[in-house]
Amino acid sequence: MFGNFAAAVPQGKLLGTMTDDLETRFAIACAVAREAGTLARRRFLERPRSQRPNMKGHQDYLTATDSEVEDLIRSRLAHLLPGDSFFGEEGGGSFDHDVWVVDPIDGTANFARGIPHFAISIAFVRDNRTEIGIVYNVMQHELYAALRGHGATLNGETIRVSGLAEISHATVEAGWSSRLPIAPYVALVDGLKNAGVNVRRAGSGTLGIAYVADGRTDAYCELHINSWDCAAGIVLVQEAGGFTNEFFAGDGMRSGNPLLATNAALCGKLAGVIGIPI
């Protein structure tokens, strides 16, 4: 029933009885992400080519797979870790103490348009701090994983943020959504371009942040991002030696906040250009 789950759980751990055990949670989250990825991959490959996308709002896509994948993750975690709470982008939930914050398909617009750049994002948050972050790049079979204090990995190999220090050499992903007016985004891109930055936007916030942890890009920024899109990526970047602003400040968990995630050498310079203090 739980796929390869048994192999992923450290020997000697008794599920449901060690609810304070972050290592057990970490192993469970990795296994659940891979199982959910198998479902998402199958749905992506079998989707009808002529499908008209369903929209939740302006440039805000919805697919049946979002809910199906979220339901799978929710039911696995509820069964294995019944004391934890759960919040998913599609079905909601509660943000109580010890909460799993999940985006079942981040990059839904890409998924809906047949672009294989989307990810499953699973974060475990305690006391407004991400302890576990899993980002599964479904079509590339790339599992990014971080357990606070134990580093960040990609398919088991340690990853680090880039060491780039010169802003005019930097590549920065600038996330965008229809939640904010257009003018501040245009001003953000303008500021980055004037500083000599190569600005990109690939349509999955969680993957964009994971790419910072992996040194594929030098920073990710967004003027408003939701916790389910970035909570996992935040611990990935921090465990890979990078820095983020205080995303969870105020009501960040429920209402979202700005985000800047980058390396040590660029954080001061980018914070100045973008206006998100680190």
Binding-site ranges for ligand IPD (CB under 6 A): 89, 103, 106-109, 175-177, 203-205, 222, 225, 229
Tell me the pairing of strands 157-158 and 152-154: antiparallel
Q: What's the closest the beta carbon of residue 176 comes to ligand IPD, in angstroms?
A: 5
Closer residue to ligand IPD (CB): 35 or 103: 103
Say what angle helices 182-194 and 264-274 make with each other, to 10 degrees: 130
Q: What's the closest the beta carbon of residue 205 comes to ligand IPD, in angstroms?
A: 3
Closer residue to ligand IPD (CB): 225 or 237: 225
Closer residue to ligand IPD (CB): 37 or 203: 203
Q: What's the closest the beta carbon of residue 255 comes to ligand IPD, in angstroms?
A: 13
In angstroms, rounded to a whole number, what is the distance separating the alpha carbons of residues 193 and 115?
26
Q: What's the closest the beta carbon of residue 128 comes to ligand IPD, in angstroms?
A: 20
Closer residue to ligand IPD (CB): 27 or 205: 205
Nearest to 263 by CA among 152, 161, 148, 146: 161
Nearest to 205 by CA among 243, 176, 178: 176
Environment class of residue 90 by beta-carbon count within 10 Å: exposed (0-12), middle (13-18) or buried (19+)?
A: buried
Q: What's the closest the beta carbon of residue 208 comes to ligand IPD, in angstroms?
A: 7
Q: How many CB atoms lie within 10 A of CB 255?
A: 10
Closer residue to ligand IPD (CB): 26 or 111: 111
Closer residue to ligand IPD (CB): 26 or 211: 211
Q: Give just the sign of the alpha carbon dihedral 119, 93, 17, 80.
A: negative
Task: Write out the two tokens for 64.
Answer: 């049946």
- Asked whether the beta carbons of 31 and 3 are under 8 A apart, the reply is yes
Q: What's the closest the beta carbon of residue 230 comes to ligand IPD, in angstroms?
A: 8
